[in-house]
Each structure stands twice: as structure tokens, then as C-alpha cells.
Structure 1
Amino acid sequence: MSVIVLKRVYDISSPNDGCRVLVDRLWPRGLSKENAGLNEWEKDLAPSTELRLWFHHSFELWTEFSEKYRKELHEADLGRDFLKRHKDQEKITLLYAAKDEEHCHAIILKEYLETIK
């Protein structure tokens, strides 16, 4: 079973990151693909465009956003396939661009993936 950790995509990559997966729907501003150090980009694990635009990083909507995003993840059931494809990875680092590290969709995604392991 893989250990799943979170990290901002702008932070320096490390060999200890394991498999580095960008989980944002949009490419991070100001970051070249060469400097990102990604193993893959999983856009489909990110919130839908509609949900992302509705939330717009509004702290007041965090609880409702969390519920809606969990529902999207559950209904799409992409997490199971993602974990199956990465079953041999010791560590998976989910990368995100958000500045607010406490109200970021990657936190919800990590919790979701850990519940379906």
C-alpha cells in the first residue's frame, strides 16, 4: 500500500517524493513542464470546472465545497483505478498549485484515496 503525501507543485522536487502526480485541472502558472518534475498529470482527479469556479477558493464555502467534491469523487470512482495503477509505488506525492494549504482540494482527495485503499 502506498503512502500518500501532499506538496505544492512549486516546492523543490525531491527523490523522496516517490511518484509525483499533479492533481490540478489547470496547469500551474509560471511553471514549465521541464521544471515540474512530474511523473503524471491526473486532471480527472481534480474538482470539475464548474465546482472549481463555484468555490473560487472562498473560505466560507469550504465545508460545502468539500461535500460536493467528495460526491464527485465517489460518483466518478476514478480513485480506485488510480490506486490500482499505482499499487507498486511506495510513495505517491499529490501535487497542487493552491497557495492556501489548509483549504485545498488535494487534502480532500488524499483523504478520499486513503479511505478506498
Structure 2
Amino acid sequence: MIYCKRVYESAAPGDGQRVLVDRLWPRNRRKQDLHGQWLREVAPSDELRKALHAGEVDFAGFTHRYQQELAAHPEHWYPLLDLAQQGDLTLLYAGKDTEHNNARVLADWLEDELLRRGPGSSPVCYAP
């Protein structure tokens, strides 16, 4: 199961593997408090992130463009797919909006990829 959670919430035993999926390190958060790893390369590009925050693109447009970025760079999200196939995965994000954020888009992308591969598919092995 893939979950999304604000990085400011406490770690819980049910989180499974925890991965921060933001390009920027969250304010007022120490690295030792993450209790997981940071994959900044899977986050939306700086250009796309800034366009969303400036209101130049709505969330639907952001989602579409972010999915294009994900499709162009599967090497960035393959490690997350491996983790999701092994057990629970929690994608961490810093934004205040719990419904409209890159972690939700990424979680949907990963879930779709897992469904596409079907039950019992072998784990992805990616070596850069």
C-alpha cells in the first residue's frame, strides 16, 4: 500500500518505508528526524513547481506535466516501485495542501504502474 503523509507528522510503525519526495528540504526539519530517505530527483522540476506556486498552472495542468516528467525519467521512480512491491511505502511531502501535492500524483502514478504490471509481478531491478 502506498500512503502520503506530511513530513511534519510523526513517524508511525505502519508507515513502512518512508521517502521524502520533495525537491527542497522542508523548513524546520532536521535530517535525523526524517526516519527514511530523500529522493529529490523524483520530485517535479523546479520550473513546474514554481509554476504551480505562482498560479501559472492549475493542479490539473500540474498533474499532467508532472506525469510527463515521470514518464520521461522512469529511472527516478523505479526505486519507489521496488519499495512498494516489498511492503508499505509512505511518500513524504512538506506542502500544507494534503489533497493537491506532488506526493499524491506520484502515489497514483506508482499505483497505476503496479496495476499495469499485475499481481505477482517480479520486482523491478534498476541499476543506473
Same-fold call, TM cutoff 0.5: yes
CA shift, 1:81, in A, is 4.1
Partners in 1 of 2:25 and 2:109 — Cα distance? Answer: 23
CA shift, 1:16, in A, is 1.3
CA shift, 1:87, in A, is 5.5
Q: Is the 8 A contact 1:19 1:93 kept in 2?
A: yes
Structure 1 unaligned regions, length at least 5:
none
Report the equivalent of 1:109.
Answer: 106
Is 1:74 matched up with 2:74? no
Report the equivalent of 1:50.
Answer: 47
Q: Is the 8 A contact 1:22 1:96 kept in 2?
A: yes
SS at match of 2:4: strand
Asked which structure has the greater RCO (Cα within 8 Å, sep 6+), the reply is 1
Report the equivalent of 1:32.
Answer: 30
* Shift in CA distance, 82/102, structure 1 to aligned 2, threshold 3 Å: closer
* Shift in CA distance, 70/32, structure 1 to aligned 2, threshold 3 Å: same
CA shift, 1:61, in A, is 1.1
Partners in 2 of 1:57 and 1:92 — Cα distance? Answer: 30
Partners in 2 of 1:58 and 1:99 — Cα distance? Answer: 16
Partners in 2 of 1:44 and 1:106 — Cα distance? Answer: 13
Partners in 2 of 1:46 and 1:67 — Cα distance? Answer: 14
Q: Is the 8 A contact 1:18 1:89 kept in 2?
A: no
Q: Is the 8 A contact 1:20 1:94 kept in 2?
A: yes
* Shift in CA distance, 57/97, structure 1 to aligned 2, threshold 3 Å: farther
Greater C-alpha Rg = 2
State the TM-score, normalizing by the size of structure 1.
Answer: 0.87
Q: Is the 8 A contact 1:80 1:116 kept in 2?
A: no
Q: Is the 8 A contact 1:19 1:91 kept in 2?
A: yes
Is 1:65 matched up with 2:74? no
